[in-house]
Structure 1
Amino acid sequence: MRNYITPEITPEGPYGAPRGKDTPVENKTTPWKKGQRYYSAFNYENKDLHQELQRQDPGAHPTHDDPDANEQ
């Protein structure tokens, strides 16, 4: 199963398009499955390589690793 969801490019149409003007934007067309999530540009690409490592930047907040999970 693929756990990462890639975002659709402009799912509501081009900027200013009247399509879907009065309906909310939906993230997916299929139901969510356990473990699925979006890719994030603000995360490590391969979290397994960085698991249980503290950030080295001064003032960085602690990581939100789940100690019971050993996967991405």
Structure 2
Amino acid sequence: MSFKTVIGRARSEGKNWLDTLESLAFVEAYGIPVAPYDSASSLDELFKSARRLGYPIVVKPVIPSMLHKTE
């Protein structure tokens, strides 16, 4: 996916920012390597992704109303 596609989709949704997955796609569009990732909307999907990606994994929530995360 090109960076223009990533930005275009976000703008068409009325967003002024990129969520986590969009940000990763944007970075990848510029050829910058990122760690393997996936998204899941249920525990079943999470475990399938974990098996596919391999353990250990890191789980980070994607919450539309939370723009910044602190750890």
TM exceeding 0.5: no
Q: Tell me which structure has the larger Cα radius of gyration.
A: 1
By percentage of residues, which structure has more helix?
A: 2
Q: What TM-score bracket applies, with the shorter chain setting the length?
A: under 0.3
TM-score by length of 2: 0.25
By percentage of residues, which structure has more strand?
A: 1
TM-score by length of 1: 0.25
Higher relative contact order (CA 8 A, sep 6+): 1
